[in-house]
Amino acid sequence: MRRALTVPVLLAGIVGLALLAVGIVYLTVACQELPGLLGPTRGDTSPRTGLGIVGVLLGVAVLIVALLVPRRRPPSGPLQS
């Protein structure tokens, strides 16, 4: 039986995908080519590798949590003899 998605799980999935996308952009696009929202730097042609790795790792971690939380079993009551 599959449970319905809750708002926090859906938001965690969206945040995870956004972090993953930003991390990939930081890894592949040169700093001077980044959009203004992501902080372009004039004259710097290398990608922001450190921020990209952090973004990808956080994105993957949040997506894993968002996938595992709905599958968690509810706590059972105390055992009675």
Task: Check: CB of residue 52 under 8 Å from CB of residue 39.
Answer: no
Q: What is the pLDDT of residues 21-68, one digit of tens each?
A: 999 988 888 777 777 666 656 666 666 788 889 999 999 999 999 888
- The total number of residues shown for the chain amounts to 81
- What's the whole-model pTM score? 0.73
pLDDT at 1 over 60: no
DSSP calls for the chain: -PPPPPHHHHHHHHHHHHHHHHHHHHHHS-GGGS-GGG---TT--S--HHHHHHHHHHHHHHHHHHHHGGGPPPPPPPP--
Q: What is the pLDDT of residue 20?
A: 95
Q: With contact defined as beta carbons under 8 Å apart, do 49 and 27 qualify?
A: yes
Average pLDDT value for residue range 8-26: 91
